[in-house]
Structure 1
Amino acid sequence: MFRSLRVRNYRLYAAGQVVSNTGTWMQRVAQDWLVLDLAHGSGTALGITTGLQFLPMLLFGLWGGVIADRYPKRRILLVTQVSMGLLALVLGVLSMTGSAQVWHVYLLAFGLGVATVVDNPARQSFVVEMVDKRDLPNAIALNSATFNGARLLGPAVAGVLIALIGTGPVFLVNAASFGAVLFSLYAMRSAELHDVAPVKRAKGQLREGLRYVRGRRDLMLVLILVGFLAMFGMNFNTTVALIAKEVFHTDASAFGLASSMLALGALSGALLAARRVARPRLRLLVAMGVVFGALEVATGLMPTYWSFLALLVPTGIAMMTITTAANATMQLGVSPEMRGRVMALYMLVFLGTNPVGAPAIGWLAEHFGARTSLVLGGLVSILAALAVGAVAARGRTGESRALARLRRPRPAGG
């Protein structure tokens, strides 16, 4: 299950990610709570904040992949991690001095999104430079496990800190946590990295990446499924916060607990994937998409806070099984020189759809109730999974018929 950790460089990287991701999840909870406080509980304001954080991915995400293919990825990550730390520091100072306004949070969330545009494809495609291709699915799953382990710890710690001393110190803790990633990148042994030669600067590299993916039917179906699930089904930053506050009337610590329960399921799903996922198939993604959607609908209908918490765990397991398998499918099936651009497109679909989905989900919650937003997201996820499964099955049937025609013996004679 942990075979990738035998590699020293990856072990350093994973340790740094645990610290940094914990700080990042602490900030996400604090940011959501700060916006709800400044905007007097507005679901629309919360959705706008989330949307602005992911808007740069929608606008510029593909260019991040071009940068990842052109330049050394470790150097890119050093720059992006420093930038993210500085943004967290500014938000912490504004919050602690009582100067923070909603538009400040909007602006800094957008800035964080700009840094993420460059960081995500470089970080995703850097994994294969630390481990060999055989261990790549395991490393991807362990990345998800460290991310969700931090997601489990971070919100719980943030909820307690917000209740005791406010949101400002949480942002400062996150700013300091980026030091762990910077140290891990600096301490790596360059000779042990499987460097991919940077692609030389040339015209049309962005279009080249798009043509490459468009010509791969298997990759296109994964992107379509992930896009619908991410846009409508995985807006938990918005929906969990609103249900915790507006439906069950809980405080910041209870909201943190709800986020942690979702993360507990996601962590369990990532560890299961690390053990079992080798070369995932599309049918697994389709099946888990249906399961995920059904669990999300059931979660939104839970009558009590504790039953709501209980359903978040299997929902998180299904969500992480899908995302880990989709990520591994994209990375294992592409040429090394295209990996940055392909992963940028994947992250564009996975994260860049939030500027559309998050405000829409927030608006639905504000006008029709927080439960409606969660139930509708689950229903859309089910329909999307079934549609992709039907298209894939039709394609397999067509291929089988074509092969049968080729193998059919031709009649003798002229």
Structure 2
Amino acid sequence: MCASPDIADTPPRGIATFRALRHHNFRLFWSGQMISLVGTWMQSTAQSWLVLHLVTQTYGVEKSSLYLGIIAAVGSLPTFFFTLIAGALADRGDKRRIVIATQAGAMLLALLLGLLTYTGYIRLWHVVVYAVLVGTVNAFDMPTRQAYVKELVGGKDLLNAIALNSSVFNAARIIGPAVAGWLMTLVGVAGIFLLNGASYLAVLAGLLRIRTPHQAAPIADRSLWQHLAEGFLYTWENRTIRLLLVLMAVFTIFGFSYFVLMPVIAVQVLHLREGGFGILFAFSGVGALAGALLLATSAGRVSKGALLCGSGITAAVFLMLFSMSRVFSLSALFLMGISGGLVIATASINSLIQEIAPDMLRGRVVSMWTFIFGGFTPLGALYVGSVAHLGERIGMPALSLLLGGAICLLAIIAIMLRAPWLWRLR
């Protein structure tokens, strides 16, 4: 479906940044996400604190970094195994019902973790199992939720809606950890988990009130695996989508991986302590939020191809500058440019592939975007870590970021030269 049936006859007054909110269904969806995502980031902060406490009790503080990394890794593993299957299921079924099921599952898991923590029965292996289960839920939720947005707003306001979703996510990334730090002193870690579980009620309430006509893909006698093969074949044969996903892979491996080296840059290059590192990290969130809001304002006024290329080049250049900076204020400024540019670039890719792909294939195509975005992150961490280790030997701990920025820049230039029509995509 290409149009949203719930649009108001006349959009509310205000700046174009929030025009996707004129769709009643999207307002329900977006407002619920706004509450739930704050809870999710609160939980992420409290969970790290809980793991640190459990590991210190069992193995000593020297093992804390190892187990934090292990839990993060096992939480991302389901992305490799289930995301593409989730995209096929989204095309075969009712996206709204799938999202309701995944959100309800995430709520129950958060409440269970909260009860285990509150009663004192919590053990480290519980947190590991929880990370795997939540990762599995997210693997089915993310591609379905991304593909569902077009059914809420139609194609015209899709990029604006994606940008508004990104702005909520990044605002929650700033607010959630700060609120969690304050609330943990009042209600404890268990209280944070229970509050996060309760926050899912806002999403579920909104989803249950949404009414959109369902268009199921014609399945005939094809199996799930044939359905998957059809999605792969379409993606491979569509040159535009193929190039967009290649760019997405480059940004994920060589762009977003700067997060891995943030502690190293803060300590070895900028000589910051804990407070300074926290402030530097906050600048990344502020830049991402600013980029999302800028994208929401620019959507419809500037071609998506131009936004993609311009923001990708901006992020690549700022990444190289950040790798060479030795001044905190400049590093913070460059960091905002990196995060803002990457948010605009990846959201533009998401919007373009959703608009290009036919409705009957949208879930599968979006699942490939999700698979790259989530599944290639460990590859980026491996790249950054190995090259940074070599860089430290020659006094350049940020060498991997310099090379990563250069690779991103060269990839954009190469694709623009081989496919000059890409940057003119509307």
**Structure 2 length-normalised TM:** 0.80
Question: Which of 122, 131, 147 is the aligned partner of 1:125?
Answer: 147
Pair 1:27-2:43 in alignment? yes
Correspondence list, 1:327-346, <5 A: 327-346=350-369
Q: TM-score, normalised by structure 1?
A: 0.83
List aligned pairs for 1:265-276, cutoff 5 A: 265-276=287-298
Q: Does 1:197 align with 2:191?
A: no
Q: After TM superposition, give the deviation of residue 179 of structure 1 in Å.
A: 0.8
Give, in angstroms, the shift of residue 31 of structure 1: 3.0
Does the alignment pair 1:285 with 2:301? no
Structure 1 residue 12: Cα displacement: 0.9
1:304-343 equivalent positions in 2, closer than 5 A: 308-343=331-366
Structure 1, residues 220-253: CA drift from partner, whole Å, max 9, x if none? 12111211222343246644467668963416xx
C-alpha displacement of 1:159: 3.0
Amino acid at match of 1:21: L
Q: Which moved more, 1:175-184 or 1:218-227?
A: 218-227
Following the alignment from structure 2 to structure 1, what is the Cα–Cα distance between the partners of residues 370 and 387? 25
> Per the alignment, do residues 274 and 110 of structure 1 end up closer, same or farther by CA in structure 2, a change over 3 Å counting?
same
Cα distance in structure 1, aligned partners of 2:324 and 2:111: 39
Counterpart for residue 209 of structure 1: 231
Distance (Å, rounded) in 1 between the aligned partners of 2:178 and 2:329: 16
Q: Which residue of 2 aligns with 1:81?
A: 103
Pick from 1, 4, 12: which aligns with 2:28? 12
In the superposition, relative to structure 1, how do residues 309 and 35 fare at CA in structure 2: closer, same or farther (>3 Å)?
farther
Q: Secondary structure at the match of 1:234?
A: helix
1:106-125 equivalences in 2 (<5 Å): 106-125=128-147
Task: Spell out, residue by residue over 1:342-362, the C-alpha distance to the aligned partner (whole angstroms, 9 max, x if none).
Answer: 000110011111233346656
Report the Cα distance in structure 1 between the residues aligned to 2:280 and 2:149, rounded to whole angstroms.
30
- State the alpha-carbon separation in 1 of the partners of residues 417 and 306 from structure 2: 9
Q: 1:53–1:340: structure 2 CA closer, same or farther, 3 Å change rule? A: same
**Change in 2 beyond 3 A, CA 1:150/1:334:** same
Distance 1:200 1:387, change over 3 A: same
The residue type paired with residue 145 of structure 1 is: S
Which of 386, 407, 424 pairs up with 1:383? 407
Displacement of 1:90 in angstroms is: 3.0
Aligned to 1:60: 82
Question: What one-letter code is carried by the residue in structure 2 that aligns with 1:19?
Answer: I
CA–CA distance in 2 between the matches of 1:366 and 1:166?
Answer: 38
Number of matched pairs: 391
Comparing 381-390 with 327-336, greater Cα deviation is found at 381-390
Aligned residue type for 2:374: L
CA contact (8 A) 2:249 2:373 kept: yes
Distance 1:233 1:322 in 2: 11
Mapped to 1, the partners of 2:186 and 2:277 lie a distance apart of 15
Q: Secondary structure at the match of 1:133?
A: coil
What CA distance in whole angstroms lies between the structure 2 residues aligned with 1:133 and 1:354? 29
Q: Residue 295 of structure 1: CA displacement?
A: 2.5
> 1:134 maps to what in 2?
156
Cα distance change of structure 1 residues 260 and 179 upon mapping to structure 2, 3 Å threshold:
farther
Rounded to whole Å, the distance in 2 between the matches of 1:175 and 1:243 is 35
Checking the alignment, whether the CA contact within 8 Å between 1:74 and 1:185 is kept in structure 2 is yes
Give the direction of change, closer, same or farther, for the CA distance of 1:220–1:157 in structure 2 (3 Å limit).
same
Distance 1:282 1:9, change over 3 A: closer
Q: Report the CA distance shift for 1:362/1:194 in structure 2 as closer, same or farther (over 3 A).
A: farther
Whether the 8 Å CA contact 2:82–2:140 is kept in 1: the answer is: no
Contiguous gaps of at least 5 residues in structure 1: 398-414
Deviations 1:37-94 (A, max 9, x none): 5363654433332222221111221100011011111110111001111222233344
Cα offsets for 1:296-339 (capped at 9, x unmatched): 34445555766654543332211211122111111111101110
Instruction: Look up the SS of the partner of 1:2 in the other structure.
Output: helix
Q: Following superposition of structure 1 onto structure 2, how do residues 390-409 of structure 1 map, counting pairs within 5 Å?
A: 390-396=414-420
- Aligned residue for 1:347? 370
Matched-pair contact (CA < 8 Å) for 1:331–1:343: yes
Amino acid at match of 2:214: D
Query: What CA distance in whole angstroms lies between the structure 2 residues aligned with 1:140 and 1:57?
Result: 21
Aligned to 2:169: 147
Q: Which has the bigger relative contact order, CA under 8 A and spacing at least 6?
A: 1
Is this contact kept in 2: 1:4–1:10, CA < 8 A?
yes
Distance in 2 between residues matched to 1:128 and 1:183, nearest whole Å:
20
Q: 1:103 to 1:69 in 2, by over 3 A?
A: same
Distance 1:373 1:183 in 2: 48
Aligned AA (1:196): Q
Deviations along 1:104-131, whole A, 9 cap, x unmatched? 3332222111111111111111111111
* CA RMSD of superposed structures (Å): 3.2
Compare 355-364 and 173-182 and name the one that shifted more.
Answer: 355-364
266-275 vs 105-114, which moves further = 105-114
**Secondary structure in structure 2 of the residue aligned to 1:197:** coil
Q: Which runs of 5+ in 2 are unaligned?
A: 1-16, 422-426
Quickly say closer, same or farther: Cα 1:43–1:223, change in 2 above 3 A.
farther
Shift of 1:197: 2.8
* Whole-Å separation in 2 of the counterparts to 1:167 and 1:381: 38
Question: Secondary structure, in 3 states, of the residue corresponding to 1:195?
Answer: coil
Give the aligned partner of residue 285 of structure 2. Answer: 263
